[in-house]
Amino acid sequence: MNRPDEAWLAQLRHDHDHGAAVGSHEQRTRWVVGLTFVTMVVELGVGYATNSMALTADGWHMATHVGALGLSAFAYWFARRRSRHEAFSFGTGKVHALAGYTSAIVLALVALWMVVESLRRLLQPEPIAFAEALPVAVLGLLVNLASVRILHSAEHDHEHDHDHGDGEHSVVAHDHHGHDHNLRAAYLHVLADALTSVLAILALLGGRYLGWTFLDAAMGVIGGLVIARWSYGLSHGAAAQLLDVVPSQDLAAAVRHGLEARFADVRVVDLHVWAIGPHAMACIVAVAATSPRPVATYHEALASIATFAHVTIELHQPPGTAPGA
């Protein structure tokens, strides 16, 4: 018997690589880490020198984000280097979800610190050098907006990559695919930085021109609460992927009804659908058929319903029935 062609086998292995298809995301994240680090150093230095809580909070907020964004960059590197390691049954795609969940915890801790420290400043006001702090806050905002733009472009480019352009629409909407929670975590971190920069600027303007020194601490409380909300959303989505929660009940129903409607003798007796990485889903389906067909036929039927990176089909048939060719 002839051995399978090596080139064909190599292509099959590449098609089942679910952890390394995010190269542009990794590069963009590294750029953002560098920009955030430089801005962090400037803001912390000026924040302490001017005694601005809003600017200092923004600087420390950036410091934690440098660590979190560094974690995101490391996750991309690790997933890429280990994408074909045999120890990972479905590739390294969930490394991104793990990094995203960890980043969500960091965001929550940042939000808690901002609220607690800002409340302390409300009770014990301190003098602030508004004129010196304001230009640095504006610089921080510009850097954050640039970082948001870089990461937003990565998400936008990915959406185009998944636009099939064939005029036909699968039952599976874009939101049903496994999200890149690592990219989303990085995006939320820089978005949170941009928010705190805006709040710092508003607080410094209000304090300098209107004498409302309480705004400096009040903006810290508002920013902390908003960031806590973002943290919850990120942790919820990443945890769902880590725990293999069904991406969409509509998707599961579409798979079940699609197979049973196409083949009159088929009943789906067991079904598992879950995300195995960024924009990659897996499906294990067990079907009972009185007139079994070749397994490839069921694969083709699934492909017309949704796009799966990994599919396993269990075919069950009554005793004495001839197996499919």
Two structure tokens written together for 188? 């939320």
pLDDT reported for residue 257: 92
- 294 and 207 belong to one structural domain: no
Q: Which domain holds residue 264?
A: 249-316
Tally of structural domains, the chain: 2
Using the 3D structure, point to which of 194, 226, 242 is the last residue of a domain: 242
- 171 and 253 belong to one structural domain: no
Q: Is the pLDDT of residue 122 over 60?
A: yes
- 279 and 228 belong to one structural domain: no
If pLDDT is split at 50, 70 and 90, which confidence band does 19 have? very low
Q: Mean pLDDT highest for which of 28-32, 76-80, 161-165, 287-291?
A: 287-291
- 216 and 272 belong to one structural domain: no
Q: Give backbone dihedrals phi and psi of 89, rounded to 5 degrees, phi first.
A: -60, -40
- 117 and 262 belong to one structural domain: no
Q: Which of 4-18, 57-71, 138-152, 295-309 has the lowest mean pLDDT?
A: 4-18
If pLDDT is split at 50, 70 and 90, which confidence band does 156 have? low
If pLDDT is split at 50, 70 and 90, which confidence band does 162 have? very low
In angstroms, the Cα distances linking 57 to 83, 161, 221 are 38, 38, 11
- 58 and 200 belong to one structural domain: yes
With 0-12 / 13-18 / 19 or more C-beta atoms within 10 angstroms meaning exposed / middle / buried, residue 308 is buried
Q: Which CATH number covers residue 298?
A: 3.30.70.1350
Element (H, E) at 270: strand 266-277
pLDDT reported for residue 204: 84
Two structure tokens written together for 283? 């499906």
pLDDT reported for residue 170: 44
pLDDT reported for residue 54: 61
Q: Which CATH number covers residue 203?
A: 1.20.1510.10
Across residues 239-243, what is the average pLDDT? Answer: 88
Half-sphere exposure of 111 (CA within 13 A, CB side): 21
pLDDT reported for residue 163: 42
Could you read off the pLDDT of 261-305 as tens digits, one per residue?
999 889 999 999 988 877 788 999 999 988 888 888 999 999 888
Q: In this structure, what is the dihedral angle of CA atoms 138, 144, 145, 151, given to the nearest 10 degrees?
A: 180
- 163 and 275 belong to one structural domain: no
Full-prediction pTM beyond 0.85? no
If pLDDT is split at 50, 70 and 90, which confidence band does 18 have? very low
Q: Is the pLDDT of residue 322 over 60?
A: no
Could you read off the pLDDT of 57-88 as tens digits, one per residue?
667 767 777 777 787 778 777 777 776 777 77
Q: Is the pLDDT of residue 309 over 90?
A: no
pLDDT reported for residue 194: 82
Using the 3D structure, point to which of 210, 242, 274 is the last residue of a domain: 242
- 150 and 35 belong to one structural domain: yes
- 146 and 179 belong to one structural domain: yes
